[in-house]
Chains A and B, each alone.
Chain A
């Protein structure tokens, strides 16, 4: 049955080569922890991706209850955390996932750096990877304003002041982020929500696609 369905689609779209390209490649010994235990350092990239998937899924479900509005944001977070079945778990996954993904991406970056794996021909992939790192930081920064608790509010205020200290365009950056030159309030929250939920994830997906396509084209760098 499944085979027939697959054949039906394959006949029209010729998906076998795509599938083969993803699945049928050989993985060299030096990245396989089953051969050398020290190869576990190659896992960090995959784990970063895994936690990213957790973040995306849990974030999608959190928006079912969350309201990006200063009157209701806090109440809705408190409600989903204390009243909704498993709400505590799902918010916990998103909260701790944010920390874990930073740790994993940091370790992955260190692995690539100290192995010199960014050298020719993989320069571009490294640049994309560092951009991904920045996007993750941006997601962390915009994400923790959303519950609209004291920590969120005051940390964001500090963050915006840091942005303001940039010479010449600082005030404009701050206004652009906060929606108002002075107030950190309703407009800030909706902007941060939009950035956190739409703009940065879009950038994240684009960069991740580029990252993975480049890995498939170039292969993993050889052993040292």
Chain B
């Protein structure tokens, strides 16, 4: 009996397998009930589920554009790191006292290692023959506890985040920020500060930090311009007191967070949303 449609190997050293290969697929006769051919009957049902799922997924993609924040800036000290949601349980775990500082090993290696190790080796830990939940209360109980702990940690972590504040990190809201070039202090800014702090006060990697997030008032800004701060040397600004006054006002007024003229921020977000609309209509 040869395989396929009269296949013969010519000049081939292999010995043909005389015995019939066991290609008979498993049937489920040991489970009484109706069975169905995988192809095409069952697969069609699976694919219908898949198609519905795909439509839902594409709707999600169309409705929620994938987020992108501003370009990585290692000097951005105002940024609050946050991992993706599926790592939040781990992130939250490290906030507990018993899992941080001196005991951080417990939080990073100990607990996750135990939990995931147990998950990996579950079949060798839970060796009883019974499969029903009632026959293995310990295994199911531990798994339930693990799931609840993970969900709860994620939930706590999510609620602790100020999502509105994080919106500001998004590229749609931030890079569009533009300073008011008509402001009386603009000239002083462009002559004295722009080379380090950027055209739109957004900072310059390695040179000077962004001025947009600072909360300083006019007097503090004046003091820094004259006397410097941190790595910034003194006497960066050389001009009259009147110019200094204008400059400080300019910096404070053009911050998106300032209550006086939240203009920059408003512009930014409206720009962002119109961008979103455009890309939606393209799809």
A-side residues, CB < 8 A to B, are: 7, 10-17, 20-30, 32-35, 40, 43, 46-47, 50-51, 54, 70, 74-75, 77-78, 81-82, 85-86, 88-89, 91-100, 102, 109-110, 113-120, 122-123, 126-127, 130-131, 133-134, 137, 140-141, 144, 147-155, 157-159, 162, 165-167, 184-185, 219, 221-224
Contact = CB atoms under 8 A, between A and B. Distances in A.
A115 B42 contact: no
Given A150-B79, A155-B81, A26 B27 contact: yes
Contacts of A222: 28, 30-31
A130 B35 contact: no
A85 B46 contact: no
B239 to A, nearest CB: 34
A117 B123 CA distance: 9
B7 A24 contact: no
B71 interface: yes
Most buried by A among B26, B130, B140: B26
Interface in B39-77: 39, 41-42, 45-46, 49-50, 53-54, 57-58, 60-62, 64-74, 76
Most buried by A among B21, B79, B121, B122: B122
A219 to B, nearest CB: 5
Given A46-B46, A127-B120, 15 more contacts: A17-B4, A21-B23, A24-B25, A28-B31, A32-B42, A88-B65, A95-B67, A115-B131, A116-B136, A149-B71, A152-B69, A155-B81, A157-B81, A158-B81, A159-B87
Contact of A96 (B64, B72, B73): B64
Contact of B84 (A30, A81, A155): A155
A224 B134 CA distance: 11
A122 B84 CA distance: 32
Nearest to B147: A110
Contacts of B25: 20-21, 24-26
Nearest to A126: B123
B279 interface: yes
Contact of A35 (B26, B34, B94, B104): B34
Nearest to B80: A154
A29 B21 CA distance: 27
Interface of B: 3-7, 21, 23, 25-28, 30-31, 33-39, 41-42, 45-46, 49-50, 53-54, 57-58, 60-62, 64-74, 76, 79, 81-87, 90-91, 94, 104-105, 108-109, 116, 119-124, 126-127, 129-133, 135-136, 139-140, 143, 147, 169, 171, 275, 279, 282-283
A109 B74 CA distance: 38
Nearest to A149: B69
B57 A151 contact: no
12 contacts: A23-B38, A28-B31, A35-B34, A94-B66, A127-B123, A131-B120, A133-B119, A147-B68, A149-B68, A149-B69, A150-B169, A153-B72
A140 B74 CA distance: 22
Most buried by B among A77, A92, A95, A122: A92
A129 to B, nearest CB: 9
A92 B7 CA distance: 49
A13 B116 CA distance: 43
A151 B91 CA distance: 14
Contacts of B124: 123
A29 B109 contact: no
B257 to A, nearest CB: 17
Contacts of A16: 3-5
A113 B122 contact: yes
B108 A148 contact: no
A118 B122 CA distance: 8
